[in-house]
Structure 1
Amino acid sequence: MPKLLSVFRIIALLEGISYILLLFIATPLKHLANDPQYVKLLGMPHGVLFMAYIVFAIFISKDMKWNSKTLWIVLLASIIPFGTFYIDRKYLKSNG
């Protein structure tokens, strides 16, 4: 389990970074500077990381002994900017 937790922590970090870059850099550049290249560049990796985050969260939830409320918090954090960083600190770091 520690290896899966380590992989999940890396996915959570990368998903969080890609979301921040997409939301606060790529999207404003697309709309303000009419330059969609950064959204195109970051969109697919972020989507893959987002899906991996969801799958890994569900997969490790039983091993982490998360109740359904905790699992929902972990899942919802993926759509909130900086949410995955909070999850790492609150739910993953102390167990890893």
Structure 2
Amino acid sequence: MLRLFRFVALIEGITTIALFLVAMPMKYWLGNPALVPPVGMAHGVAWLAYVLGMLACFPGKGFTVWQWVRTFLVAFVPFGTFLNDPMIHRREKDLQGQAALKA
């Protein structure tokens, strides 16, 4: 499940970059707002999927309250999901190692 969340986080991060570094500069610097609605909608859907993904994928995986809060807050910071990914990846590897020990 954490692999799915990491994929959703990647998409959320990419849409944030597209919105802030492509669509909004085109609107404000070049006077062409054509990309803002579709990219903004894609980013909104990706952000909702990110939050819902947290609620679906994190319970029972051993994340601390701080890790939950951190993961939620980085969704508001450009590049935040990319900076948070190593923490999620480490937890995913830890859980895989635990599962291998039980098998």
- Tell me which structure has the larger Cα radius of gyration: 2
d(CA) in 2 for partners of 1:69 and 1:93? Answer: 16
Q: Provide the TM-score with structure 1 as the length reference.
A: 0.87
Alignment-derived partner of residue 86 in structure 1 = 83
Q: What 5-or-longer segments of structure 1 have no aligned partner?
A: none
Q: Deviation at 1:7?
A: 1.3
Q: What 5-or-longer segments of structure 2 have no aligned partner?
A: 94-103
Identity over aligned pairs, percent = 32
Alignment of 1:1-96 (within 5 A): 4-89=1-86, 91-94=87-90, 95-96=92-93
Amino acid at match of 1:14: I
Amino acid at match of 1:76: L
The count of residues paired between Structure 1 and Structure 2 equals: 92
d(CA) in 2 for partners of 1:82 and 1:7? Answer: 19
Amino acid at match of 1:69: W
CA RMSD of aligned residues (A): 1.2
Q: Provide the TM-score with structure 2 as the length reference.
A: 0.82
Q: Deviation at 1:41?
A: 2.0
Three-state SS of the structure 2 residue aligned to 1:66 is: coil
d(CA) in 1 for partners of 2:13 and 2:61? Answer: 21
Q: Deviation at 1:61?
A: 2.2
Contact 1:58 1:71 in 2 (8 A): no
Amino acid at match of 1:60: C
